[in-house]
Chains A and B, each alone.
Chain A
Amino acid sequence: MQRRINILRNLDWTTIFLYLALVFMGWLNIYAAVYSEEHNSIFDVSQRYGSQLIWILAALVIASVILLVDSRFYFVFANYIYVALLLLLVSVLIFGVEVNASKSWFHIGSIRIQPAEFAKFATALALAKYMSSYGFKLFRFSSLSTIAFITLLPAGLILLQNDTGSALVYTSFIFILYREGLPHWVMLFLAFFIVLFIFVLVFNKFVLLVILFGITMLLFALLSQKYRDSIRFSLGVLGLGAILYGASEFFNLNISLYYLLLIPLVIAIPIALIYAYLNKIRLVLFLLFFLLSTLTFSFSVDYIFHNVLERHHRERIMDLLGIESDPLGYGYNVNQSKIAIGSGGLMGKGYLQGTQTKYNFVPEQSTDFIFCTVGEEWGFLGSSVVIIVFVVFLLRLIRIAERQKEAFARIYGYGVVSVFTFHTMVNIGMTIGVFPVIGIPLPFFSYGGSSLWAFTILLFIFLKFDSSRRD
């Protein structure tokens, strides 16, 4: 009895209030998304708002149960929970049913369960347990490879289920590593390659080569202060390219611009090496390495994109980058979603007054595209409020994570932050066309028992750690 009172007193009620607010707003929007004058009872379980109400009540029960369990349980059993979820992920591949081309659902009677949703908290627990173990050092090959193994195993299984979106969520755990000491430059490096990846797809090979060459020369000029040499060198390469161009035109060789620049660059590499040797400038070697690795990277991205990815993935990525537009194809969803949100204006059309989301122009509007209803009916002001609540919620979670004394709880907390951030950012981003449509739910908003329960479990285990921190 004493114990229970402690739990209640030590619980972070701010977070719970935010949680309840988000769940409630989510339900209001699911009701609006499927609302029709013909339906009468809000408890009609044949309608999505009716069944969502049941999921919500069940989620509250689950939350209470989690709070009642001793927090050491999660620590002791972290690895078992992880392995159990892995087994579920394997068995869904064998016994699962296919929904929207993803084989990631179990059918139990009329209820559908998606194990991939629950694998997230299990992975976060396993990671936290491993990284908080005695004598753990991040900068060891064995540590990094174990971390990669723990994260990529469930992600790989989920990929096999053809659920790319849920698998991508696992990339967000990089935040945990960063918080636990991954150097800044690794993050910068990752950011640079993500940008380069987009550049490869947006620009043609020639423009990309010009950009990379330009960056290399600029870095050289800035870092070595040898402005004259860098100008000479650039002019030499460009001049050689111009001569080749003239020859190609004169002899009608039809060499593409790309090769007209690539050939001089290849010729210039030994010259640069000799220059570096004579002047003893190691920077040149570093820059050459930079140029060659980025070029190799862009080649492989190009190759993977055109030869490895399947057509529908390619189309989604192209569509997102605005390269090919096909309103009835994959761009259709995003266009519809943008119209719905855009038509909301500043103040919105008012609750239940939306026309776009009502007429099912937006597919999946109560699941992945639930934010459209928010945008259309509550307008810019309402959407901003929802986003601000999410941000406050995330910052609150960071704050709670930082006040943990045990590394295990802190690391798990950052896992929770990573997953919620990724889901919220990508889901809202995709409805307004700044992220690819990878079909992951908006936490607490999207219709569906599996995701609501999984997010609830993820969050409340963390709140349980927090409440017992002073025990």
Chain B
Amino acid sequence: MAQNVPTDRRNIISGIIIVVFVAIIVRLFYIQVIDSRYKLSASNNVLRYITQYPARGLVYDRNGELLVSNKAAYDLMIIPRQVSPFDTTELCNVLSISKETLIASIREARIYSTFKPSILVKQLSSETYAVLQEKLYKYTGLYVQPRTLRSYPRKIAGHILGYVGEVDERTIKKHPYYQLGDYIGTSGLERSYEDELKGKKGVNVYLVDVHNRIKGNYSNGNFDTLATLGNDLTCTIDAKLQEYGEKLMVNKIGGIVAIEPKTGEVLAVISSPSYDPDLLVGRVRSANFRLLDSDTLKPLFNRAIMALYPPGSTFKIVNALIGLHEGVVRPETRYSCDGGYRVGRGVGCHHHPSPLNLIGSVQASCNTYYCNVFRNIIDNKKHGGVEGGFSNWKSHVESFGFGHRLNIDQPNELSGTVPSISFYDRYFRKGGWSSLTIISLSIGQGELGTTPLQMANLTASIANKGHYFTPHLVREVIGTDKNASRFKEPIYTTIDSTWFKYIADGMDLAVNGLPGSGSTARIAAIPGITVCGKTGTAQNPHGNDHSVFIAYAPKENPKIAIAVYVENAGFGATWAAPIASLMIEKYLTDSIARPWMEQRLLDANLLNRRAKKN
């Protein structure tokens, strides 16, 4: 018995091997002899795989206006091994390319692979394709692959819509869905919503005979897959407002962000100088990209979310709110100002009535007042020393969305900077700094860096009396129930909502105060609409001050909150305020009642102020 065991097992193992391979032979017999799906009638027939590229999803503005659409284009493909000699002159004429280019492309394709298809000529127009189609039978080994390209009916909002480009090797390795020559969103919404917009490729398998003619679907389409269209997006942009803002910003450098406070929906994002998004489509793309990329004014750079500016005097309202919340200043607290704060290095102030209470200090933007408020906050005994006071101040500031990304649905958003204790410990030394050494934070200068988006978000938080919604650019991915719940949750600042009404009143008076009362932004007033605003003039070590203005309107039922930065343009009231005012008017009334003001802005060219220092 014991001796039989090995023979048994030997036979069982041999048996298993025989059974497995007999099964494989049976399966082979089925595939090769019985199942006719895999047959090719003659050995001369070849299969041709034509990828069905789905059109990318369209993008609409908040009112259903088309912002991004598609147009047809055709790639001429080549399978070098199938090519037989042909009349190159004729083909070159049809394609309007030089013979050298054609020969070079064929050589390149041959080097890549003689068997695999490569693109011979990219993105032919429909017209060229129509001519080519009739002659294609003469060129074996060449065929046409339909594609779609982006097109921009309104030619606006290039920065946030973004662009598509050919996918790179690294992405292909990481996501095998993509193949060489596929397009992928590389910036803006095209990138943030790539998964929604791209759809799903399909493939058609055709039988092709020796004369380069498609004889029909292979195996009745059993191996075909349908392409699925990309999902359309409804974005939150108001096309008219966006277009108007871009128009006002021509010949100026800067960024504008407008938000609907109730929802966090972004109404307009302007970064100037901007560019026509159609420039980055099709065969002209790479040349135009190089041109835009080398422009010293950096038109491809989205200043609205990627540029850091000091907030300037607009930041006083944050300090006012922190002071009120911490109880170190009361609405009726008055400080007198005789043209500046004279402790330490001192901070100068402009001429205005004195003394002022809190509302008046917002209205007149008194520097002295905020030096006092800021020192009260930092030196508050409750927090035991400068460091305690400072970190309390910092956490309040960060609750407004400063110093970190707001996580808008755009790539490359900057987080901005709020200085930290360790920064000052390094910059001075531990224990070597006080509320006085960092006093410039009181008026929004110093080590603060904020994006226009963060400033617009601050404005929305004030309009909402203490909370904001994550700013976002897409309201809906059409055809999906995918709702981004993170955009629907209110985010609360650490400031009690009761204090916001004083700020609102101060911002109201800054715009709508009587002449001579110290109002800083009377130019922003719109007849019939209560605009609340705050000017800022952000000092800039590299040149003239930046002109800053934040505002929301109407006061009682805010529908728009806006932040405007114009680089090197000087006082906030001079340029940023009228731009904000016109945009608010445009958005709320859809008309402009102050053509003289509009004309002045359209005519203004502030580009050459750049390098001048005062």
Residues of A contacting B5 in the complex (Cβ-Cβ under 8 angstroms)? 181
Are A345 and B13 neighbours in the complex by a CB distance under 8 Å?
Answer: no
B614 contacts partner chain A, Cβ-Cβ < 8 Å: no
Are B43 and A358 neighbours in the complex by a CB distance under 8 Å?
Answer: no
B9 contacts partner chain A, Cβ-Cβ < 8 Å: yes
Complex: A375 Cα to B24 Cα, angstroms: 12
B37 contacts partner chain A, Cβ-Cβ < 8 Å: yes
Residues of B contacting A312 in the complex (Cβ-Cβ under 8 angstroms)? 176
Among A101, A329, A338, A361, contact of B31 (Cβ-Cβ < 8 Å)? A338
Are B81 and A36 neighbours in the complex by a CB distance under 8 Å?
Answer: yes
Q: Map CB proximity to A onto B10-23 as digits: 1 under 8 Å, 0 otherwise.
A: 10111001101101
Are A387 and B176 neighbours in the complex by a CB distance under 8 Å?
Answer: no
Known: A394-B17, A429-B24. A341 touches B38 (CB 8 A): yes
Complex: A238 Cα to B172 Cα, angstroms: 52
Are B46 and A359 neighbours in the complex by a CB distance under 8 Å?
Answer: yes
Among A359, A417, A432, contact of B24 (Cβ-Cβ < 8 Å)? A432
User: Which partner residue on chain A sits nearest B7 by CB separation?
Assistant: A402
User: Which partner residue on chain B sits nearest A357 by CB separation?
Assistant: B115
Are A359 and B81 neighbours in the complex by a CB distance under 8 Å?
Answer: yes
Are B6 and A402 neighbours in the complex by a CB distance under 8 Å?
Answer: yes
Among B9, B21, B116, contact of A387 (Cβ-Cβ < 8 Å)? B21
Q: Give residues 324-377 of A contacting B (CB, 8 Å).
A: 326-329, 335, 338-339, 341-346, 349-350, 353, 355-356, 358-361, 375
Complex: A360 Cα to B115 Cα, angstroms: 6
Are A179 and B13 neighbours in the complex by a CB distance under 8 Å?
Answer: yes
User: Which partner residue on chain A sits nearest B116 by CB separation?
Assistant: A360
Q: Give residues 423-461 of A contacting B (CB, 8 Å).
A: 424-425, 428-429, 432, 434
Are A380 and B24 neighbours in the complex by a CB distance under 8 Å?
Answer: no
B25 contacts partner chain A, Cβ-Cβ < 8 Å: yes
B87 contacts partner chain A, Cβ-Cβ < 8 Å: no
Among B10, B18, B113, contact of A360 (Cβ-Cβ < 8 Å)? B113
Complex: A345 Cα to B37 Cα, angstroms: 11
User: Which partner residue on chain A sits nearest B81 by CB separation?
Assistant: A36
The distance from the CB of A350 to the nearest CB of chain B, in whole angstroms, is 8
The distance from the CB of A95 to the nearest CB of chain B, in whole angstroms, is 21
B345 contacts partner chain A, Cβ-Cβ < 8 Å: no
Are B9 and A178 neighbours in the complex by a CB distance under 8 Å?
Answer: yes
B281 contacts partner chain A, Cβ-Cβ < 8 Å: no
Among A339, A387, A421, contact of B223 (Cβ-Cβ < 8 Å)? A339
Known: A335-B223, A342-B32, A361-B49. A384 touches B14 (CB 8 A): no
Complex: A339 Cα to B225 Cα, angstroms: 16
Residues of A contacting B44 in the complex (Cβ-Cβ under 8 angstroms)? 355
A390 contacts partner chain B, Cβ-Cβ < 8 Å: yes
Are A375 and B14 neighbours in the complex by a CB distance under 8 Å?
Answer: no
The distance from the CB of B210 to the nearest CB of chain A, in whole angstroms, is 11
A391 contacts partner chain B, Cβ-Cβ < 8 Å: yes
User: Which partner residue on chain A sits nearest B39 by CB separation?
Assistant: A343
Among A339, A358, A380, contact of B29 (Cβ-Cβ < 8 Å)? A380
The distance from the CB of B217 to the nearest CB of chain A, in whole angstroms, is 13
Known: A329-B177, A338-B31, A391-B21. A343 touches B10 (CB 8 A): no
The distance from the CB of A356 to the nearest CB of chain B, in whole angstroms, is 7
Complex: A45 Cα to B402 Cα, angstroms: 63
User: Which partner residue on chain B sits nearest A390 by CB separation?
Assistant: B21
Residues of B contacting A414 in the complex (Cβ-Cβ under 8 angstroms)? 13
Are B32 and A344 neighbours in the complex by a CB distance under 8 Å?
Answer: yes
Are B39 and A341 neighbours in the complex by a CB distance under 8 Å?
Answer: no
B192 contacts partner chain A, Cβ-Cβ < 8 Å: no
User: Which partner residue on chain A sits nearest B35 by CB separation?
Assistant: A342
Complex: A424 Cα to B17 Cα, angstroms: 10
The distance from the CB of B201 to the nearest CB of chain A, in whole angstroms, is 6
A104 contacts partner chain B, Cβ-Cβ < 8 Å: no
Are B17 and A339 neighbours in the complex by a CB distance under 8 Å?
Answer: no
Are A329 and B21 neighbours in the complex by a CB distance under 8 Å?
Answer: no
Are B18 and A391 neighbours in the complex by a CB distance under 8 Å?
Answer: yes
Complex: A360 Cα to B9 Cα, angstroms: 43
Complex: A178 Cα to B15 Cα, angstroms: 14
User: Which partner residue on chain A sits nearest B10 by CB separation?
Assistant: A402
Are A434 and B176 neighbours in the complex by a CB distance under 8 Å?
Answer: no
Are A356 and B47 neighbours in the complex by a CB distance under 8 Å?
Answer: yes
A114 contacts partner chain B, Cβ-Cβ < 8 Å: no
Are B31 and A432 neighbours in the complex by a CB distance under 8 Å?
Answer: yes
B27 contacts partner chain A, Cβ-Cβ < 8 Å: yes
The distance from the CB of B175 to the nearest CB of chain A, in whole angstroms, is 10
Are A355 and B45 neighbours in the complex by a CB distance under 8 Å?
Answer: yes
Q: Map CB proximity to B onto A175-200 as digits: 1 under 8 Å, 0 otherwise.
A: 10011010000000000000000000
User: Which partner residue on chain A sits nearest B177 by CB separation?
Assistant: A329
A115 contacts partner chain B, Cβ-Cβ < 8 Å: no
Known: A179-B10, A339-B223, A343-B39. A380 touches B28 (CB 8 A): yes
Among B14, B37, B38, B202, contact of A395 (Cβ-Cβ < 8 Å)? B14
Are A36 and B114 neighbours in the complex by a CB distance under 8 Å?
Answer: yes
The distance from the CB of A192 to the nearest CB of chain B, in whole angstroms, is 16
Residues of B contacting A178 in the complex (Cβ-Cβ under 8 angstroms)? 9, 12-13
B611 contacts partner chain A, Cβ-Cβ < 8 Å: no
Q: Map CB proximity to A onto B198-225 as digits: 1 under 8 Å, 0 otherwise.
A: 0001110000000000000000000111
Complex: A369 Cα to B45 Cα, angstroms: 22
Are A343 and B40 neighbours in the complex by a CB distance under 8 Å?
Answer: yes
Residues of B contacting A181 in the complex (Cβ-Cβ under 8 angstroms)? 5
Residues of B contacting A421 in the complex (Cβ-Cβ under 8 angstroms)? 17, 20
B612 contacts partner chain A, Cβ-Cβ < 8 Å: no
The distance from the CB of B200 to the nearest CB of chain A, in whole angstroms, is 9
Complex: A428 Cα to B32 Cα, angstroms: 14
Among B20, B23, B27, B38, contact of A339 (Cβ-Cβ < 8 Å)? B38
Q: Map CB proximity to A onto B69-108 as digits: 1 under 8 Å, 0 otherwise.
A: 0000000000101000000000000000000000000000
Please name 19 pairs of A and B residues whose Cβ atoms are closer than 8 Å in the assembled complex, sorted by A.
A36-B81, A179-B9, A179-B13, A328-B201, A338-B31, A339-B47, A341-B38, A345-B39, A355-B40, A355-B45, A356-B40, A360-B113, A361-B47, A383-B28, A383-B32, A384-B28, A421-B17, A425-B20, A434-B27
- Please list the residues of chain A having a beta carbon within 8 angstroms of any beta carbon in chain B: 36, 38, 101, 175, 178-179, 181, 312, 326-329, 335, 338-339, 341-346, 349-350, 353, 355-356, 358-361, 375, 379-380, 383-384, 387, 390-391, 394-395, 398, 402, 414, 417, 421, 424-425, 428-429, 432, 434
- Please list the residues of chain B having a beta carbon within 8 angstroms of any beta carbon in chain A: 5-6, 9-10, 12-14, 17-18, 20-21, 23-25, 27-29, 31-33, 35, 37-40, 43-47, 49, 51, 79, 81, 113-116, 173, 176-177, 201-203, 223-225
Interface contacts beyond A342-B38, A432-B24: sample of 7 additional A-B pairs, CB < 8 Å, sorted by A? A38-B114, A345-B32, A359-B116, A383-B25, A417-B13, A425-B21, A432-B31
* Closest A-B pairs by Cβ, 9 of them: A342-B38, A360-B115, A380-B32, A359-B115, A342-B31, A343-B40, A349-B43, A391-B21, A360-B116
